[in-house]
Amino acid sequence: MLPVLLAVTIIVFSIIHLIPGDPVRLALGEMSSQQAYDHMRAELGLDKPLYIQYFSFLWRLAHLNLGKSIIYREDVTKLLAAKLPNTLKLTGSALILSYALAIPLGILAAVKRNTIIDYLSMGIAIAGVSVPSFWLGFLLISLFAIHLHWFPIAGYGGIKYLVLPAVTLGFGGAAIVARMMRSSMLEVINKDYIVTAKAKGLRYWTVITKHALRNALIPIVTLLGLQVGWLIGGAVVIEIVFLRPGVGRLIVNSIYMRDFPVVQGVTLILAVTVILGNLLADILYAVIDPKVRY
Amino acid sequence: MKNKLFFNFLKSTNAVVGGIIIVLFILIALFAPFLAPKSPNAQSLQNVLMRPSLAHPLGTDEFGRSILSRIIFGARVSLNIALIASAVALGIGVPLGALAGYYGGALDSIVEGLVDITWAFPTILAALAIMFMLGPGLHSVMIAVGVVYWAGYARITRGQFIALREEEYVQAARAVGASNLRIIWRHLLPNSLAPLLVQLSLGMGQVILIEASLSFLGLGAQPPTPSWGSMLSSGRAYLLTAPWLTLIPGLAIMLVVLGFNLMGDGLRDALDPRLLHTKK
Amino acid sequence: MLRKRSKGIVWGIALVGILLVFTTFLAVAQTADRATKEANSKTLVVAETTSPPTLSTFTTTWTTAAMRDVLGNLVSIDAKMNYRDDIAQSWNVSADGLTWTFTLKPGVMFTDGTPCDAAAVAWNIIHQRDTGASSYLYSAVKDAVAVNSTTLKLILKNPFPNMLYNLSNSFAGINSPTAVKKYGDDYGVTALVGSGPYIFKQWIKGDHITLVRNPDYTWGPSWLSNKGPAYFKTVIYKFVPEAVTKTMLLQAGEVDIVDGVDPTAIDALKADPNVAVAMTPGRQLIYMGMNVTKPPFDNLLVRQAMNYIVDRKAITKNVFHDAGLPAYNYLTPNVQPQVKSPYTYDPQKASSLLAKAGWTKNADGILEKNGQQFSIILWTSSTTDRVQVATVLQSEMKEVGIKASIQQFDPGSYADMFKTGEQQAFIRLYEWDNMDILEWFFNGKRIAKGVNKTRINNPLLNFLFAKAEMQPTLADRTFVYRLIHEYLLEQSPWVPIFYPSLARAYRSNLGGYTATLYHVYLVDAYRE
């Protein structure tokens, strides 16, 4: 994990310095004085050679210091601490929503295999990954906020502000889960013990819920970890559409403003999260998979 | 084997629907100049934001351009993006995956490491950063998306190669002294095509979506290129007064991506017939 | 006599009595009026497009409306564009134009409890001049002297008629010196202390700024009707980058004021009975600049031709929905000196000028000269309105046989691109409302830094700019700038295209606010 993270820092550092643009000029404004400009560059160490800047970034990182934002003049950790909870709320509820939608759909599709219900539920699920999320977001806003007044348009606050963005983000995630649920369920249904249970005269739905579901859920659990990266990527666009002050909006603005320390710091944190998610998936799979089946 | 795959594919309703959509999409892209009523870039400032009507079948945009014509020519742009970006991704991913899977060892670890690194970045952010580096424009979109998506193809190729390299026919080829390149090219690669095809089909849809997201973030095609993503993105300001500016390209994107996804799904089912959605 | 006098006294007492009753009544009515207004006015939400990096004018030249509510200025500008009192009650300037004397209002306090007196103002000016990002504001100031707590003398190096403009500028807010020193690097980040009607409370970076009422504020500009503290207890400045989201929030009543309505939203908002749209000529110009040192725009005739191919009226009406004016001048509509432009929409005239310059149409309808096609790259930033202008221009150029391809840049790298000198033609927007902008963009000495983007280096212009700086009075300065402006139009380094209006929209139940070109003053604002 450490070599990967080190590579991540090098890549992010190189890319951001290859992007044309001058954060100091952007922070100060075009008409700012040369002396203020020079002063700020020196203060931030931006007048030093790139490799020195990189090593001082690593040095600070080793002390758990992500540096200071060039634009906002605030510690990156402080900025992150303010934004991360909002992103976690969004991605967390989107995750819950997508599973709540996808698992029943997947079961239904598997149980009613090759009926219109199967086609429809899989169709809905696939439609979820087939729309640009910002488009879906704006459509949901026009329908549920503008016309029906059920939810606020954008912003953040109570749970009512969370519904539309979470649905927009969760809808996309549901497809993958539903598809996985269906195939995993189909696999289990055809297993001997289910067939036996059915032959024993147990009621169909009892068999499905008591026996099949439990086993079919195993691969779904491992999907959780893998979806972390996907959710974070999705949050970038959703936070802009719904005006949520989260990490996604922060990082896009920071790229626009060439706020190197923020981009470096936030990408690193996101990369760690994604890698931990993958690790979690691996561990879960190893723990649950072979032994739980009977 | 291949015939069976095709047969299974035809049995899957989803796949057939998806296939029809994609064929239509390709035909529209190919014959765009014959199908479009007007030039996609012909402006008419006297006729801006016209509602869909007989004179303007899908309405006009903020410069009075025919949305129908732009959608038709946009199919060309989208197909182009999907093909080239996927080609870039395949071009990086398949050779690397093949090397890793065939030779294993240190090479495998390196490729695996590269895959992990690529996957550590949220896709849209990685594409965004590369776009900033290259500057806006369709070429940048293609490169950025290709670079971001290579890892999936590498993983699949590697997995297939590892699974296949101990197969009898590969061993046999090796025994008669076939070169590594020949084994890879004649034996391993053809037998890895099916899962790659599934990934390609799903990936093409993703590419079109990513282009739309990049346009939304301000980095898409150069105007006046009629890309669906940039139509959708520039039309969103008129959501309240002229919703057709966003609805129509949005639906076009949805339909085509749905087509790619259904087709990919159908292909996957065809590879694993137990999962098939079939007509009884 | 006595009776008369006593009668007089009686009348006098009666009069005093009546007056007393009347004033009491007035006072009671006023208090009652204030009480109702305050009761109805809890939180005001203003939507702005871009969020600022920091709020300290010493460390950035970005400004945001919230800064004006927190900081006072020495001088204010009213809605009719007159210089009026703010922290300074009055001022005069010596005959040689070298000494400005300001009389400050007594008792003005910063919200950290320190006095906003002549010494504090002098400190602000000197601190900005010596270390600030906007030091150019006071580059003419030799010294700022606090004669006593309410008298401030500015001693200038040279006569500078633009002084009041600079002092009323949003970059020239007066900060509490104590707070600036106390917070150091965090000033403008976690703290902002001034003497304005509102107190800085919280800033969620990139999202919103929260202000609360300054209860002691009684020294506002005299041209505002509310002489006491503001009615709204809380003001929130919300940063909403999406044009359509701003419109939706306003229509739903989740936002009270939109500062900077997007042209695309004007029609929808005008149709809404709950919203009032106000449009006044703004401070912005969208133009196409041309690099006068590179072919094909090194040819004067070609540059002039470009000024004839643009249908500014059609762009104004159909692309920008009349949210602005067609532009023919280099200075924005409120700024003197305005001159008469020779250019109109006349593609035929353009074609004949191009022919005169040696460009003739080939078989494909594209202009050619010595076997070379007229093919250019048109730069623009990826900001919506500029991309729109570029898109229309590209099509209009095509009509006269010019092949233009558009190259977008994101706003963060756009300005830097001009240092390369590779630009041919480029769309830009500037926001300024003083004639000195011409010097900024066209002085030959600013080419290397990429400020002078047309790279024009004309001895006559350079001479006139130097002359203008030395004029003692505004009238003289304006006279020189008129010559400059006329000469520039003839040289045609720019194609002025569109003046975006300053468009603001308010919820109809909002009353009292006073909008100027620079700011919506919220002291008077209340909810009905």
ipTM > 0.90 for the complex: no
Percent of chain B past pLDDT 70, that is, above it, reads 93
pLDDT exceeds 80 at position B275:
no
Contact between A29 and C205 using a beta-carbon 8 Å cutoff? no
Contact between A122 and B250 using a beta-carbon 8 Å cutoff? no
pLDDT exceeds 50 at position B224:
yes
Residue reference for tokens 């991913």: B93
- Smallest Cβ–Cβ distance between B261 and the set A8, A130, A274 belongs to A130
- Taking CA–CA distances from B218, the nearest residue in chain C reads C382
Strands C141-148 and C99-104 come out as unpaired
Residues 28 through 87 of chain A touching chain B, CB cutoff 8 Å: none
Mean confidence (pLDDT) of chain A: 84
Average pLDDT, integer, range A250-255: 90
- Smallest Cβ–Cβ distance between B122 and the set A7, A255, A270 belongs to A270
For C296-328, write each residue's pLDDT tens digit: 999 999 999 999 999 999 999 999 999 999 999
Nearest to C246 by CA among A243, A123, B185: A243
Q: Is A185 on the interface with C (CB under 8 A)?
A: no
d(CA C484, CA C493): 13
Q: Is C323 on the interface with B (CB under 8 A)?
A: no
Structure-token pair, residue C462: 């350079």
- Smallest Cβ–Cβ distance between B116 and the set A4, A16, A234 belongs to A4
Asked if B81 and B207 count as a contact pair (C-beta separation under 8 A), the reply is: yes
For B152-165, write each residue's pLDDT tens digit: 899 999 988 888 88
Asked if C350 and C309 count as a contact pair (C-beta separation under 8 A), the reply is: yes
Residue reference for tokens 């691109």: C417
Question: Which domain, by its residues, includes B220?
Answer: 2-44+58-279
Distance from CA of C420 to the nearest CA of A (A): 12
Q: Phi/psi at A141 (nearest 5 deg)? A: -60, -50
Predicted confidence at residue C32, as pLDDT, reads 78
Q: Is A153 on the interface with C (CB under 8 A)?
A: yes
C-alpha pair distances (Å), A180 with each of A102, A103, A125, A193, C299: 9, 9, 11, 21, 66
Q: Is B122 on the interface with C (CB under 8 A)?
A: no
For C413-453, write each residue's pLDDT tens digit: 888 889 889 999 999 999 988 898 999 999 999 898 888 99
Count the domains in chain B.
1
Asked if C497 and C430 count as a contact pair (C-beta separation under 8 A), the reply is: no
Average pLDDT, integer, range A139-160: 88
CATH code: domain of residue B271: 1.10.3720.10
Contact between C205 and A32 using a beta-carbon 8 Å cutoff? no
Average pLDDT, integer, range C33-58: 90
Percent of chain A past pLDDT 70, that is, above it, reads 93
Residue C516: strand, helix, or coil: coil
Q: Which domains does chain A have, with CATH numbers?
A: 2-62 (no CATH), 86-245 (1.10.3720.10)
Q: Is residue B89 part of a domain?
A: yes
Q: Is residue B142 part of a domain?
A: yes
If one compares C329 and B125, the residue with the highest pLDDT of the two is C329
d(CA B117, CA B151): 9
Q: Is C311 on the interface with B (CB under 8 A)?
A: yes
- Smallest Cβ–Cβ distance between B132 and the set C390, C407, C410 belongs to C410
Predicted confidence at residue B7, as pLDDT, reads 67
Chain A positions in Cβ-Cβ contact with residue B272 (cut-off 8 Å): 183
Predicted confidence at residue C1, as pLDDT, reads 45
Nearest to B217 by CA among B112, B136, B271: B136
- Taking CA–CA distances from C55, the nearest residue in chain A reads A72
Distance from CA of C207 to the nearest CA of A (A): 6
What lies within 8 Å, CB to CB, of C340 at 6+ separation is none
The distance from CA B208 to its chain's CA centroid, rounded to whole angstroms, is 6
Q: Is C448 on the interface with A (CB under 8 A)?
A: no
Residue reference for tokens 């919230």: C66
For C239-288, write each residue's pLDDT tens digit: 998 888 999 999 999 999 999 898 888 888 999 999 999 998 889 999 99
Q: Phi/psi at C388 (nearest 5 deg)? A: -60, -45
Mean confidence (pLDDT) of chain C: 91
Average pLDDT, integer, range C92-108: 93
d(CA B28, CA B70): 12
Q: Is A251 on the interface with B (CB under 8 A)?
A: yes
Residue C500: strand, helix, or coil: strand
- Taking CA–CA distances from A260, the nearest residue in chain B reads B129
Contact between B257 and A129 using a beta-carbon 8 Å cutoff? yes
Listing DSSP states for B39-77 in one string gives -TT---GGGTTPPS-SSSTT-B-TTS-BHHHHHHHHHHH
Predicted confidence at residue B89, as pLDDT, reads 95
Q: Phi-psi region for residue A71, left (φ > 0), alpha (ψ -120 to 50) or beta?
A: alpha
Q: Is A72 on the interface with C (CB under 8 A)?
A: yes
Q: Is residue B13 part of a domain?
A: yes
Contact between A40 and C59 using a beta-carbon 8 Å cutoff? yes
Predicted confidence at residue B1, as pLDDT, reads 47
Structure-token pair, residue B215: 């346009």
Predicted confidence at residue B279, as pLDDT, reads 40
For C237-249, write each residue's pLDDT tens digit: 999 988 889 999 9
- Smallest Cβ–Cβ distance between C245 and the set A71, A154, A257 belongs to A154
Predicted confidence at residue B8, as pLDDT, reads 67
Predicted confidence at residue C453, as pLDDT, reads 95
Distance from CA of C377 to the nearest CA of B (A): 12
Predicted confidence at residue C7, as pLDDT, reads 66
Residue C377: Cβ within 10 Å count: 14
For B23-34, write each residue's pLDDT tens digit: 999 999 999 999
d(CA C394, CA C407): 11
Average pLDDT, integer, range A206-232: 75
Q: Which amino acid is at C226?
A: N
Residue C104: strand, helix, or coil: strand
Which H/E stretch holds residue C288? strand C284-290
Q: Is residue B51 part of a domain?
A: no
For A158-182, write each residue's pLDDT tens digit: 888 999 999 999 988 888 888 888 8
The distance from CA C491 to its chain's CA centroid, rounded to whole angstroms, is 27
- Taking CA–CA distances from A138, the nearest residue in chain C reads C245
- Taking CA–CA distances from B212, the nearest residue in chain A reads A132
Q: Which amino acid is at B219?
A: L
Distance from CA of C419 to the nearest CA of B (A): 17
Q: Is residue B251 part of a domain?
A: yes
Q: Is C262 on the interface with B (CB under 8 A)?
A: yes
Asked if C109 and C216 count as a contact pair (C-beta separation under 8 A), the reply is: yes
Structure-token pair, residue C518: 């620079």
Predicted confidence at residue C394, as pLDDT, reads 95
Q: Is residue B50 part of a domain?
A: no
Percent of chain C past pLDDT 90, that is, above it, reads 70
What lies within 8 Å, CB to CB, of C87 at 6+ separation is C72, C73, C74, C104, C105, C108, C116, C121, C174, C195, C219
Mean confidence (pLDDT) of chain B: 87
What lies within 8 Å, CB to CB, of B88 at 6+ separation is B142, B143, B145, B146, B147, B150
Range with lowest mean pLDDT among A191-195, B58-62, C158-162: A191-195
Range with lowest mean pLDDT among A26-40, A72-86, C450-464: A26-40
Predicted confidence at residue C14, as pLDDT, reads 73
Listing DSSP states for B105-126 in one string gives HHHHHHHHHHHHHHHHS-HHHH
Burial label, C381 (beta-carbon count in 10 A; 0-12, 13-18, 19+): buried
Average pLDDT, integer, range B238-256: 92
Contact between A73 and C185 using a beta-carbon 8 Å cutoff? yes
Distance from CA of C120 to the nearest CA of A (A): 22
Q: Is residue B246 part of a domain?
A: yes
Contact between C407 and B241 using a beta-carbon 8 Å cutoff? no
Range with lowest mean pLDDT among A251-265, C4-18, C87-101: C4-18
Q: Is residue B178 part of a domain?
A: yes
The distance from CA A239 to its chain's CA centroid, rounded to whole angstroms, is 11
Q: Is B133 on the interface with C (CB under 8 A)?
A: no
Q: Which residue, among B38, B41, B62, would best test binding to C if mutated, counting the most C CBs under 10 Å from its CB? A: B62
- Give the angle B45-B81-B157 at the CA atoms, nearest 5°: 165
Helix (H), strand (E), coil (C) string for chain A:
CHHHHHHHHHHHHHHHHHCCCCHHHHHHCCCCCHHHHHHHHHHHCCCCCHHHHHHHHHHHHHCCCCCECCCCCCEHHHHHHHHHHHHHHHHHHHHHHHHHHHHHHHHHHHHCCCCHHHHHHHHHHHHHCCCCHHHHHHHHHHHHHHHCCCCCCCCCCCHHHCHHHHHHHHHHHHHHHHHHHHHHHHHHHCCHHHHHHHHCCCCHHHHHHHHHHHHHHHHHHHHHHHHHHHHHHHHHHHHHHCCCCCHHHHHHHHHHCCCHHHHHHHHHHHHHHHHHHHHHHHHHHHHHHHHHCC
Q: Is B229 on the interface with C (CB under 8 A)?
A: no
Which chains, if any, share at least 3 CB pairs under 8 A with chain B? A, C
* CA dihedral of C220, C221, C224, C226, whole degrees rounded to 10: 20
Confidence of residue C8 (pLDDT cuts 50, 70, 90): low
Q: Is A15 on the interface with B (CB under 8 A)?
A: yes
Residues 383 through 422 of chain C touching chain B, CB cutoff 8 Å: 384, 387-388, 390-392, 394-395, 405-410, 413
Q: Phi/psi at C326 (nearest 5 deg)? A: -65, 140
C-alpha pair distances (Å), A97 with each of A83, A164, A167, A175, B189: 22, 11, 7, 12, 40
Task: Judge if the upstream peptide bond of residue B224 is cis by omega within 30 degrees of 0.
Answer: yes
Confidence of residue A188 (pLDDT cuts 50, 70, 90): confident
d(CA A37, CA A34): 5
What lies within 8 Å, CB to CB, of C184 at 6+ separation is none
pLDDT exceeds 90 at position C377:
yes
Burial label, A201 (beta-carbon count in 10 A; 0-12, 13-18, 19+): exposed
If one compares A200 and B274, the residue with the highest pLDDT of the two is A200
